[in-house]
Amino acid sequence: MAGLDAVIDCAGKLLDLSQPKVMGILNITPDSFSDGGDYLSFDLAMEQAQRMVDEGAAIIDVGGESTRPGAQSVTEAEELRRVIPVIEGIAKNISVPISIDTSKPNVMKAAVAAGAGLINDVQALQAPGAIEAAADLDVPVCLMHMQGKPHTMQQAPHYGDLLSEMKTFLAQRIDCCIAAGISRDQLLVDPGFGFGKNLDHNLALLKNLQELAELGLPLLIGISRKSMIGELLNEPADRRLFGSLAAAVLAVDRGASIIRTHDVKPTVDALAVTAAVVL
C-alpha cells in the first residue's frame, strides 16, 4: 500500500501524510482532568499536550464532548468552556495542528477562531448547520461513520454488508461536503471503530480496511484502548496498550494515514517500524 502524497493545510499548519502520523488525544472532560475548567486542569492539559508533541504527535485532538457509547450529551456552553481556553493555550505554545473533536457548529467556529485547524466530527457534519459552518471555516474535516446515536448505538448494531454500507455512507457524506463547497483535498474519512459496531464488525472492518482506503482520501483510525481490544484481551482500558499497537500496525498496513491514540510514543515507534516495511 503506497502512502498518500497528500499534505493537508490545517489553517496554515501543515500535516504531511506521506508517512503515517499520530494524533494525540486530549480529552477535556471532568473525569479526565480532576475538575474541568479550573487552572489546575488547564495546566495539566497544557502539560499533556506538550508531552504528546515531544513524543512525536503530529496533531493534537481536543475534545470536550463525551462521545462514548451511552454517554450523556454536553451543552454547547459547557463544551465551549472546556475546550476553548485549552485550544488558545496550545495554539500559542505548540507548533503542530490542533483538531477539534465536536459535532456542534458553534464549537467548530469558536475552536477555529481560537487556533484549531481541523474539524473531527463523529457525526460527519450531519448536525444542522455543521456542514455550512465547516465550509465557511475552510479547514479540513474528518468524516466519521457511526450507526445510530451515541446513547444507543451499541445496543444492536446490524449490517447487511458492513464494508459496502460504510463506503456508501462515507461516499455520500463526501459528496454532500463537496456540494457545500468543501474541497475534496480537505476531507479525511474514519470508519468509527466502536460506533455502532460489535466485535465481529470491528474485526471485519480492520481486516478489510483497504476497501475504505479505496475512497482515495486519508484514513484516520481511532482504536486506542477501545472495547474491541478489551474484549479480545479481557483487560481494562489502562491495560490495552499492546493490543492497541497491534491494531494500529494492522491499520497502517492496510492504508491508514493517521492513528488517533492516548499513547503517543509507543504508537509513533510502532508506526515508524511499520512504515519502514510497508511504504
Q: Which residues are the active-site residues?
A: 226, 260
Q: How far is the CB of 276 from ligand 7PM (least distance, A)?
A: 26
Alpha carbons 206 and 96: distance in angstroms, whole number: 28
Grid coordinates given for 219: 484514513
Q: Does 190 bind ligand 7PM (CB under 6 A)?
A: yes
Alpha carbons 200 and 196: distance in angstroms, whole number: 12
Among 129, 78, 86, 85, smallest CA distance to 108 is for 129
Q: Does 120 bind ligand 7PM (CB under 6 A)?
A: yes
Evaluated on CA atoms 81, 82, 86, 87, the torsion sign reads: negative
Alpha carbons 198 and 194: distance in angstroms, whole number: 7
Q: How far is the CB of 251 from ligand 7PM (least distance, A)?
A: 11
Give the number of residues in contact with ligand 7PM, rule: CB under 6 A: 18
Q: Does 25 bind ligand 7PM (CB under 6 A)?
A: yes
Q: How far is the CB of 277 from ligand 7PM (least distance, A)?
A: 25
Q: In a 3-state reduction of DSSP, which class is residue 36?
A: coil
Alpha carbons 114 and 128: distance in angstroms, whole number: 22
Q: Does 193 bind ligand 7PM (CB under 6 A)?
A: yes
Grid coordinates given for 43: 495546566
By beta-carbon proximity to ligand 7PM, the closer residue of 41 and 227 is 227
Q: Does 101 bind ligand 7PM (CB under 6 A)?
A: yes
Q: How far is the CB of 229 from ligand 7PM (least distance, A)?
A: 11
Interacting residue ranges for ligand 7PM, rule: CB under 6 A: 25, 67-69, 101, 120, 122, 142, 144, 190, 192-194, 220, 222, 224, 226, 260
